[in-house]
Structure 1
Amino acid sequence: MESERRWGISKKTLVGIIVFTLLMSVFMCLSGSFLFDRVIQRVYNERGYVVANIIIEHIDHDKIAEYSKSWEADDYYYEMVDYLKYIQACSDAAYIYIGVPYEDHTIKYIYDSGSTIGFVDPIAAPFDEIWKSYTKGVRPKSYLVRHSQYGFLTSSCLPIRDSNGNVVALLFVDTNMGIIYSTLGQFIINMSVIALLLMSIYCVITWKTLRKYIINPLIFIRDNLNHFAEYTSVEDNLLEEVKSNDELMDLAVSVSNMERDIVAYINNIQDITAERERIGAELNVATRIQADMLPRQFPPFPDRHEFDIFASMTPAKEVGGDFYDFFLIDDNHIGLVMADVAGKGVPAALFMVIAKTLIKNRTLMGGELSPSKIFADVNNQLCEGNDSDMFVTVWFAIIDVSTGKGVAANAGHEHPAVRRGNGDFEYVIYKHSSALAVMPGLTYAEHEFELNLGDSIFVYTDGVTEATDVFDNMYGMDRLIAALNEEPTATPEKLIDNVKTSIDKFALKAAQFDDITMLGFTYNGSEKKEMGND
């Protein structure tokens, strides 16, 4: 295709620009260069520099330096204003002003006849020349001729130095370029007639050429894209009608291919979105099922007054493996469970269901109420077919509510917090056993304890202590124990609410990526216990 292509769009545009530039350059250079070089450069600018040098000799440069810092007028300032206005009137200068330029292409006036000290205005003249004059302390090499909101002007610019030789401001003398119109009037009229004729012919030819070879194909491609934007599922071959044999045809082919790819991509995205929505719905169902498996009716045993119990789980973004459980083993014994399955997602949730069921069922089977032996049996069962190498940390206690005596085992779980009587909560720190499902045949340690009237136990998962704020700082054990001891004798429900409030204040609405699970237990004692104490 490259060998068959005779004229590309770049060549067509380049030739047109070259022809136009050559024609305009010849006429403009031959007709205007002499007048511009002589009249503008010598007459207007040099006269401005004469006036500028007179002003430089008569004003106090150190006062100018002071004004450039304080931007406040004093008596000398008003004397200088009168002097500059007098010079402006005598010299027929259009404007005389003193200012400090800034790198953002603005100038802050120390003096300007049309504004107050400190007024900021955009720089219309060539900025590089002005900035060089200010930073280097040199007179601009080129003439600062420009059209601006103040008219057609040329500026004479000189740096103002303080007594230390530092440039503190620039002095500008603007000369009105209106006289050039009378000088060049006849020339402009003659040149305009010729230029108008040539430009008219050129514009007609250029318009027809561009309309045929560039504009019409671009409009066609644009309309096709608009149609595609409205009906993205519709493919067509209309762009194949572009036969300009240049870059426009390549563009049309590329756009056509892009449309085809976008349609395929959108269809793929729709399929992926539908699948993601289906998976999301299933995960929501899994989350609800997981939550429904946990006891959430409080008080769970309204007829039992020997203890008060409350628990909660605040799920993270995705379904996880945290769980708690409590159940009456017989009339005198209650089992308390707090556990955390390693990992996230559906696998962790399924493993959680299995672990929770095995622990409860094994406990209710009867026999010796020993958490360590129950752990050993459950561990062996969890290890069977555990190809995913999942494991679960568990704190499990069995408490005789008639006496307050209990036995607990900790399989790699967090340290529980205990409050004795009316005291504060403290962590019970001791060596833990291995987590469940790590390997079969493990044995687990257990320890005995006794609860007295008013004693409380608080257990939790690592989602509590590892909650993070927006700066990725962790909540930690110290903050947890402080939250518990805000109201150490509060009910389990209030204790958990205090911890939740503390976490929320700490996290500052940061998203949490682990479940926050807590259980509180307060021993109220029993008649048998009280009679024994008596």
Structure 2
Amino acid sequence: MAIRILSVDDEQDMEMLILQLFRKQIRDKKYEFVFANNGIEALERLEESGDITLILSDINMPGMDGLTFLSKVNERQNPLLKSIMVSAYGDMDNIRTAMNRGAFDFVTKPVNFEDLEITISKTVEHIEMLTSLEKGREQLIAIQNDLSVAKEIQMSMLPKTVPANIGKAGVDLHAFLQPAKVVGGDLYDYFMKDPDHLFFMIGDVSDKGVPAALFMAITKAIFKSQFSNRNGDSLIQKVKIVNEFLSEDNSSFMFVTAFVCLLNVRTGELEYVDAGHEPPVIIRANGETELVKKQGGMALCFDPEFEFESHTLQLNPGDKFVLYTDGVTDANNIPGDRYGLHTLQEFFTTGSGSKSTTAKEMNEATLTSLVEFIGPATQFDDITMLSLRYLGS
């Protein structure tokens, strides 16, 4: 697309000289010239042709001189509209004034046409660079807006409040997700599968950002669909179905670690499937902590035929159970130290986490501890936790 140049000069032969000098560029549709005899006409041309991006203007003209015209141009506040001012050789006062008023460059009379061609070419290159930067900025804003909408959609898929029936069933529960980017790949869910059983889970997609967020949404939807269904499938069977579905056409080769649980709210018996996830922390009512022992388990999406195993553990009234993603234990600070599983367990044993009463207090205290540990370093992974306190029915 041709660069439109407005030439403003009261000398009649200037138009002919311009057209002759730039005939090749005009023929190749690189430049297109619009002409005016003074500042008043030039303002009219600008109104008529909103796509003019370069002005070549004489300073000394009748009607409206070039300096006044330049001031009017500046009022348009168009950063992509650049001006080259033309004045008599030695007229440094006016040239200096023009530059102070925002002129991009200048040439002197008698015009050296080789210098004029170079000056216009240089100015056009600058305008094209600014145009490219502006397009990039607009694209970035559009991407940021899209990501903000994506974040709202993603966060809306996660439970925001704990349903009253969970509290009535004798469980105090709280979960949160803090993405490392605008969107992330961690997920969690919880709901009463039936009056006696609480379903809850946490997961972590292998990638980050938008690809992980899309895979997270699919994973969350599949788990919700399977465990909302009150058919007779066991916990293992449902996890196997989820794994088979996610493994189909997995061209991105992503995988998901997950810890999937069913808690009998009447007895405190907790059945779980460990799909390659971080070991949960149990804080017993007497303050002692323990880690759930790793007993095999492969991440979802690696092998559609993998046979998962379920295990059970016992929660007693007053016991707490903490699920988390590796964004917690792998958090790094500026020196490169890792928060680590030992620190997390110690935090709940003797640290401020041991003083937390409710599930929400546990999560908030842990996040505060992580933020203090990370300090000015950049959070490189999503941080997600799901904590519960079993009260007993």
Query: Normalized against structure 2, the TM-score is what?
Result: 0.70
Residue 380 of structure 1 pairs with residue 251 of structure 2: no
Identify the match of residue 208 of structure 2 among 344, 348, 363. 344
Matched with 2:254 is 390
**1:371 corresponding residue in structure 2:** 235
C-alpha distance in structure 2 between counterparts of 1:398 and 1:455, whole Å: 16
Name the counterpart of 2:330: 466
The equivalences for 1:433-512 within 5 A come to: 433-485=297-349, 486=351, 487-488=353-354, 490-512=357-379
The unaligned stretches of length 5 or more in structure 2 are 1-87
Shift in alpha-carbon separation, 1:239–1:467, aligned structure 2, 3 A: same
Q: Supply the distance in 2 between the matched residues of 1:379 and 1:260 (Cα, whole angstroms).
A: 57
Q: How far apart are the structure 2 equivalents of 1:300 and 1:471?
A: 44
The answer to whether the 8 A contact 2:320-2:389 is kept is yes
Q: CA deviation at 1:219?
A: 7.8
1:216 matched to 2:84:
no
**Equivalenced residues, count:** 303
Q: Distance in 2 between matches of 1:243 and 1:340?
A: 68
Equivalent AA in structure 2 for residue 457 of structure 1: F
Structure 1 residues 221, 427: CA separation in 2 closer, same or farther (over 3 Å shift)? farther
Q: 1:515 aligns with which of 374, 382, 389?
A: 382
Match of 1:412 in 2: 276
Deviation at 1:344, TM superposition (A): 1.7
Flag the structure with more relative contact order, 1 or 2, with Cα contacts below 8 A and sequence separation at least 6.
Answer: 2
The answer (yes or no) to whether the contact 1:369–1:398 under 8 Å persists in 2 is no
Which runs of structure 2 are paired with 1:250-329 in the superposition (5 Å)? 254-298=118-162, 300-301=164-165, 304-329=168-193
Q: 2:166–2:192: 8 Å Cα contact kept in structure 1?
A: no
- Return closer, same or farther for 1:302/1:415 CA change in 2, 3 Å cut-off: closer
In structure 1, runs of 5+ residues without a counterpart are 1-213, 527-534
Match of 2:5?
none
Q: Percent identity?
A: 33
Query: Structure 1 residue 459: deviation in Å?
Result: 0.6
Q: Which residue of 1 aligns with 2:21?
A: none
SS at match of 1:343: coil
The answer to whether the aligner puts 1:333 opposite 2:197 as a matched pair is yes
Task: State the SS of the aligned residue for 1:287.
Answer: helix
Moved more, 480-489 or 510-519: 480-489
Amino acid at match of 1:216: G
Q: Distance in 2 between matches of 1:267 and 1:226?
A: 23
Larger proportion of helix:
1
TM-score, length of structure 1 as denominator length: 0.52
Deviations 1:140-179 (A, max 9, x none): xxxxxxxxxxxxxxxxxxxxxxxxxxxxxxxxxxxxxxxx
CA RMSD of aligned residues (A): 2.7
Cα separation, partners in 2 of 1:223 and 1:291, compared to 1, 3 Å: same
Deviation at 1:313, TM superposition (A): 1.2
Paired residue type of 2:388: F
Quick one: structure 1 residues 218 and 380, their matched pair in 2 at CA, closer, same or farther if it must change by over 3 Å? farther
Letter in 2 for 1:491: T
In the TM superposition, residue 425 of structure 1 has moved relative to its aligned partner by: 2.1
CA 1:479/1:219 → structure 2, altered by over 3 Å: closer, same or farther? farther
User: Which residue identity is paired with 1:379?
Assistant: N
Contact map agreement 2:279 2:293 (CA 8 A) in 1: yes
Distance, in Å, in 1 between the alignment partners of 2:131 and 2:385 is: 46
Cα deviations by residue, 1:270-312 (Å, 9 ceiling, x for unpaired): 1111111011011011111111211121465365141111111
Residue 255 of structure 1: CA displacement?
A: 4.1
Change (3 A) 1:447 1:437: same
Q: CA deviation at 1:421?
A: 2.6
Query: Per-residue displacement from partner, 1:178-227 (whole Å, max 9, x unpaired)?
Result: xxxxxxxxxxxxxxxxxxxxxxxxxxxxxxxxxxxx98398888677656
Equivalents in 1 of 2:266, 2:276: separation in Å?
29
Measured at CA, do residues 300 and 462 of structure 1 come closer, stay the same or move farther in structure 2, by a change above 3 Å? Answer: farther
Aligned to 2:77: none
Q: What SS does the corresponding residue of 1:435 show, helix, strand or coil?
A: coil
Question: How many angstroms does 1:422 deviate by?
Answer: 1.2
Deviation of the 1:458 alpha carbon:
0.3
**C-alpha separation in 2, matches of 1:427 and 1:469:** 24
User: How many angstroms does 1:511 deviate by?
Assistant: 2.5
- Are residues 417 and 224 of structure 1, via their aligned partners in 2, closer, same or farther at CA, if it must alter by over 3 Å? same
Q: Matched residues in 1 for 2:153 and 2:110: separation?
A: 60
The answer to whether the 8 A contact 2:166-2:191 is kept is: no
- Secondary structure, in 3 states, of the residue corresponding to 1:239? strand
Matched, 1:422 2:290: no
Is 2:107 aligned against 1:239? yes
Q: How does 1:39-58 map to 2 (within 5 A)?
A: none
SS at match of 2:332: coil
Deviates most, 476-485 or 409-418: 476-485
